[in-house]
A = this chain, B = another copy of it.
């Protein structure tokens, strides 16, 4: 179970640098060097093509395709609505012929390869020297997705002759013959026309009929482009030039994309026209990107002294969170962001529980947009609840468009983490931001429908003394069809109580909105009382003597497997064990009881946390990339700093060092945020579920200094910690904060002894 790093990139505080090219790292590097601006994402594949392993991937947030055949689930309530974020036009596709020889790093003779991703600008630069017989050229590729004018993307190709003479043929494509899942070709060109320096193309996905409207402009420093028609589903321009020693050819491609669903209407034409009119050149876009990132880093940078690898690692995490989501769309965050096909671009309950806190503390408006996705898809969740013979709203376990996309009933019909997670996130957001307007107009309605779902999905025990959830799968996906899973029951209990309290508060303080909501949801006072009753009677399996919560009814009676007796080559168990075998012992995949103790951290005593951590952690095999960080955070709280450090060990560099050997498929976006949690909640000791924000920093052994910034109620809070002292600065109005166990009114700055 020991995970090993693959150290491949240069360590640098602000950049990811690849020196020399190892073909075995090619696909992982494509993921690492992905660019994104939430609107679109593009993997770091080679513009000039590569006959070695590669996953060409360009994704537009919210655009999805449907499978050729719907699932053939035989029973009611089993989803057949699978859909997937679709690989779209490769608009960087280029062929470069030097004296009639195609440039291909899998075959050619090259040297001095470097690839650099600058995390302060989002610019990707790749450069190498390429030898063609006696001729030597230096080729540079630059790529940029505009963070401000987010419909725009740029490519720059420079070819400089160092030795000899080159007859250059360069073809620049818009390639719609891209493949998804290795074979499916999802796109069809609806119409295209030549415009002065490129093409304008409307393309559509074959099944879902979603659209991409693209404008291309290619500028070259010499020669002239002509149109080529030698490839189907490709719109291509080419240039033929002779380059002598020291001469330099530069091509700049400017692209604007409009991705949209539904019919094409004229306003899309107008909108694209307007975008193109305002479109600037590469250098200017780069400048505005730099300004954009400067502001973002100022809001939530983390500095680590004494551990350069983790410094680079956490910045890579934050940078990718910047890239993945910033609240410009009405979508959610896929488990792989916009960096690969795996997980089909689906969002999971991870968004509300693992990812939201980063946005809550870096830009609460962005956090709100994530919650608004759930509001927008409330009708889908209501339909889903109906499919499950329930009332209210059941949020999907996996989705891109709001519909349940998971065809495995054992997950889609048994896991209610998404629904209780949304309720938790509403509470967490409102608790931190005091955005009562959101609560009144969106949050409350979601809470009512979620509580309604939970009330109808739960059942009374046979003697009617307790209410609980039967036939569920909690966060620990190695236990299925269990009853009274503590996490599920507890989260539901808190959902009921919060819903009840919000309604009570609305009745008293916002009677009009309250009435409107009651009508909109056809909610009766009886039903509201029912929520409270069910909360009060919720079965929580807890033993006062041991302080243990039982993960579910009967967990303590399950056969025991000592995880240390399992041989390394049996991991991951998912791929090596017979499917049924995963479910009949006390091995735990990821935190379940402990996840509840992380989310509602301050509702549990230290004694309870210790008892449950010590009972459950040894049974946990961490077969989810989300598992170690939660354990690390709790371990820090329990003064088990060695364990905490060991769980943290690969958190920030999970993808950079490819610990799971599947970075090739895309980045673990949820884990990026979990790494942030690990540092800010774990080492920073942030707690956000109590009355006051709590900060209790403690440094890992080898760190000299940790500094992190968070945004909170129109203030920036900066926490800086060394082995001896911790300083908390508040930029903005003074603020009551709990630092370690003491409450302070912090006006500008307070300095305490590290450890409290």
Known: A554-B554, A577-B76, A583-B471. A559 touches B413 (CB 8 A): no
Known contacts A553-B554, A578-B389; decide if A584 and B470 are in contact (CB<8 Å).
yes
A538 touches B (CB below 8 Å): no
Contact indicator B76/A462 (Cβ below 8 Å): no
A579-B413 in contact (CB<8A): yes
Please determine whether B387 and A578 come into contact, CB atoms closer than 8 angstroms: yes
**Chain B residue at minimal CB-CB distance from A559:** B459
Chain B residue, CB-CB nearest to A580 = B413
Known contacts A471-B580, A580-B414; is-contact A556 B462 (Cβ 8 Å)? yes
Q: Is residue A701 contacting chain B, with contact meaning CB distance below 8 A?
A: no
Taking CB atoms, residues of chain B closer than 8 Å to A216 are none
Q: Given B76, B390, B409, B462, which contacts A559 in the complex, CB threshold below 8 Å?
A: B462
A586–chain B nearest beta-carbon distance, Å:
7
CA distance A580 to B480 in the complex (A): 11
What are 15 of the A-B contact pairs (CB < 8 Å)? A76-B576, A388-B580, A388-B581, A389-B581, A390-B578, A409-B580, A413-B578, A413-B579, A459-B559, A461-B557, A462-B556, A462-B559, A470-B584, A470-B585, A481-B481
Contacts of A583 in B (CB 8 A): 471, 481
CB of A483 within 8 A of CB of B388, answer: no
Asked if A441 is at the interface (CB within 8 A of a chain B CB), the reply is no
User: Is A542 located at the chain interface by the 8 A CB criterion?
Assistant: no
Mark contacts of A40-78 with chain B using CB atoms, 8 A cut-off: 1 yes-contact digit, 0 otherwise. Answer: 000000000000000000000000000000000001111
Question: What is the chain B residue whose CB lies nearest that of A460?
Answer: B559
Select one of B460, B470, B557, B585 contacting A553, CB under 8 A.
B557
Nearest CB in chain B to that of A470: its residue:
B584
A575 at interface (Cβ–Cβ under 8 A)? yes
Kindly provide the distance from the CB of A552 to the nearest chain B CB, expressed in whole angstroms: 10
| Identity of the chain B residue whose Cβ is nearest the Cβ of A574 in the assembled complex | B75
- A559/B470 in contact, CB under 8 A: yes
A481 to B, closest residue via Cβ: B481
A558 at the interface (CB under 8 A from B): yes
Q: A78 — which chain B residues lie within 8 A by C-beta?
A: 579
3 closest A-B pairs by beta carbon, nearest first, are: A471-B584, A77-B578, A459-B559
- B-contact 0/1 string along A699-726, CB 8 Å cutoff: 0000000000000000000000000000
Is A507 close to B, CB under 8 A? no
**A459 and B77: CB pair below 8 A?**
no
A510 within 8 A of B: no
List CB contacts (< 8 Å) of A463-477 with chain B: 470-471
Pairwise interchain contact A483-B581, C-beta atoms closer than 8 A: no
What is the CA–CA distance of A586 and B460 in the complex, to the nearest angstrom?
A: 12
Please report the C-alpha to C-alpha distance between residue A103 and residue B389 in the assembled complex, in whole angstroms: 50
The one of B387, B462, B558, B575 that contacts A470, using a Cβ cutoff of 8 Å: B558
User: In whole Å, how far is A414's beta carbon from the nearest beta carbon of chain B?
Assistant: 6
CA distance A159 to B389 in the complex (A): 58
CB distance from A391 to the nearest CB of B (A): 12
Nearest-Cβ distance from residue A228 to partner chain B, whole angstroms: 39
Contact with B along A552-566 (1 / 0, CB 8 A): 011011111000000
Contact between A559 and B461, CB atoms less than 8 A apart: yes
Q: Which residues of B contact A389 (CB under 8 A)?
A: 577-578, 581
A471-B390 Cα distance, complex, nearest whole Å: 27
Given contact pairs A460-B559, A483-B558, A584-B459, A75 touches B579 in the complex (Cβ within 8 A): yes
Query: How far apart are the CA atoms of A554 and B539 in the complex, in Å?
Result: 15
A574: which B residues are within 8 A, CB to CB? 75
Chain B residue numbers with a CB within 8 Å of A559 are 459-462, 470
Shortest Cβ distance from residue A665 to the other chain B in the assembled complex, whole angstroms: 15
- For chain A, residues 275 to 292, give those with C-beta under 8 angstroms from any C-beta of chain B: none
Closest to A385 in B: B578
Distance of A270 from chain B, by nearest CB (Å) = 45
State in angstroms the CA–CA spacing of A480 and B482 once bound together. 10
Q: Are A462 and B579 in contact, CB atoms less than 8 angstroms apart?
A: no
Distance of A695 from chain B, by nearest CB (Å) = 41
Q: Is the CB of B575 within 8 A of A76?
A: yes
Of chain B, the residue at the smallest CB distance from A556 is B462
CA distance A480 to B483 in the complex (A): 12
Residue among A75, A389, A481, A580 with most chain B CB within 10 A = A580
Q: Name the B residues within 8 Å of A77 (CB-CB).
A: 578-581
- Interface hits, A193-216 → B, CB 8 Å: none
A660 to chain B, nearest CB (A): 18
Chain B min CB distance to A454 (Å): 14
A448 shortest CB reach to chain B, Å: 22
Is the pair B483, A579 in contact by a Cβ cutoff of 8 Å?
A: no
Q: Which residues on the B side are within 8 Å of A76 (C-beta)?
A: 575-579
Most buried by B among A459, A554, A579: A579
CB distance from A73 to the nearest CB of B (A): 8
In the bound complex, CA of A77 to CA of B576 (Å): 10
Q: CB-defined interface of A365-407 with B at 8 Å, one 1/0 digit per residue?
A: 0000000000000000000000111100000000000000000
Q: What residues of chain B lie closer than 8 Å to A483, measured between beta carbons?
A: 554, 557-558, 584
Q: How far is the CA of A554 from the CA of B560 in the complex (A)?
A: 19
Residue in A76, A78, A483, A577 whose Cβ sees the most chain B Cβ within 10 Å: A76
Q: Cα distance A553–B554 when bound, in Å?
A: 8
A448-464 near B? 1/0 per residue, CB < 8 Å: 00000000000111100
Closest beta carbon of chain B to A383's beta carbon, Å: 13
Contact B462 A560 (CB under 8 A): yes
Q: Which residues of B contact A580 (CB under 8 A)?
A: 77, 388, 409, 413-414, 471
A69 to chain B, nearest CB (A): 10
Nearest residue, chain B, Cβ from A413: B580
